[in-house]
Amino acid sequence: MISELDSFLKMTRKDILSGSGTISHEQALKKAHAEYDKYMQKHLTTAEQDYLDVLNKEIEEIDK
């Protein structure tokens, strides 16, 4: 299956990543969530931001 995908990507002249990468899955998830949070901060309504603030406070209390 992987070789078929590689062949397809070569045929369409798309780059193929080689190697296992340099960051862990956990680090990639943290980065993705942080970038998404930054994006959403610029695009939330006031009501949505207030709702998220309340949820974050509740999560912090649960984690204690």
What's the DSSP call for residue 18? -
CA distance 55 to 16: 40
Least confident interval from 7-16, 26-35, 50-59:
7-16
Q: Residue 17: which pLDDT band, with cuts at 50, 70 and 90?
A: low
pLDDT at 1: 67
Helical ranges in 1-64 per DSSP H: 2-11, 25-41, 46-63
